[in-house]
Amino acid sequence: MIRGFFRLVGLLLLAGGFFFLVYDGARSIADQALRLTRLGEFWNDIHQASQAAFRTMVEGVSPWLWNGVVKIILNQPAWAVMGVLGILLLLLFRPRKPLIGYSRN
């Protein structure tokens, strides 16, 4: 059951990544310049207070983690981050291959 849930989350992230790829592509064509939606900008547009709370939580755990890892991830395009996370979840929680010749009891 947990495997199915994480596969669903992975599929939704992959669909969100595809949506942002199409959205950024249409925006780039309309503006005749490369326009990418950063994950941090998207999160800021959705709920700014949660991003600030997450920052204080991460800096409370270890200050170098915000500048070293999280800030780099938040500056990447939203379609790339969501797509990679979706693919990873789908691959990690894929169904097991059926065994041939004996049962798995």
For position 103, what pLDDT does the model report? 66
Confidence of residue 105 (pLDDT cuts 50, 70, 90): low
* 104 vs 28, higher pLDDT: 28
Model pLDDT for residues 47-86, shown as the tens digit of each residue: 989 999 999 999 999 888 988 899 999 999 999 999 999 9
Which residues have C-beta within 8 Å of that of residue 1, sequence separation ≥ 6?
none
For position 98, what pLDDT does the model report? 77
Cβ 22 vs Cβ 28: under 8 Å: no
Region 19-44: what's the mean pLDDT? 94
